[in-house]
Amino acid sequence: MPWAWRVVAIALAAACAVAPLAIARTWLLPFAWIWPLLVWSPLGARDALHRTEALLDVSPRPLVRTLAAAWVAGAIVALAMGAGVGVRLLATGHGAAAAAWLGGALFVPTAALACGTWTGNGRLFEIGYLLLWYVGPLNHLPLLDYAATQDAALAGGAPVRFAIATLAFGALAVAGRARRLRR
């Protein structure tokens, strides 16, 4: 990513760490988790986009290694961008909110990985995630607030729904990659 993108990413991550927790959780975290959209969108499709599938598919354990590497990279980005909020939620005794934050951080790269694995590009994830982000965390609709930016999302069970969705997307990513390897 260009240096200007990195400067904004660092500023958002720092703002999440130093702003009052209510503001950081409610307003800064959603922006910190939309900024890397173009980093996450090619997850699972990078080898198709760069036409390196044949090289990666003959590596030892291509199903596990390539998917795990892509997912870990995406998860690190999500965790780093919102770490200020997650650590402070945990430190202030908001364990359920911290767990929901972690679930949101894992949901995003898993969804990107599954979408990229099945479509071979990042467009489905870009559109779907942008819509989900706009309705859920940004406009605080508790049903779709995967980041649990409001306590109403916690009370409404959004973290449980998105934990299940994360597992489903993970299974879809593995199934999609296994399907491609069988060809």
* Domain range enclosing 138: 3-182
Residue-wise pLDDT for 105-144, tens only, equals 999 999 999 999 999 899 999 999 999 999 999 999 999 9
Structure tokens at 28: 């800064």
* Averaged pLDDT for residues 169-176: 94
> Which pTM value belongs to this model?
0.90
Residue-wise pLDDT for 21-52, tens only, equals 999 999 999 999 999 999 999 998 878 777 77
pLDDT score of 55: 67
pLDDT score of 168: 98
Please tell me the distance from the alpha carbon of residue 46 to that of residue 27, in angstroms, as a whole number: 31
Residue-wise pLDDT for 54-78, tens only, equals 666 677 777 778 889 899 999 999 9
pLDDT score of 167: 97
Q: What's the structural domain count of the chain?
A: 1
Q: Are the C-beta atoms of residues 46 and 56 closer than 8 Å to each other?
A: no
pLDDT score of 142: 93
Q: Are the C-beta atoms of residues 39 and 74 closer than 8 Å to each other?
A: yes
Q: Give the whole-number percent of the chain exceeding pLDDT 70.
A: 97
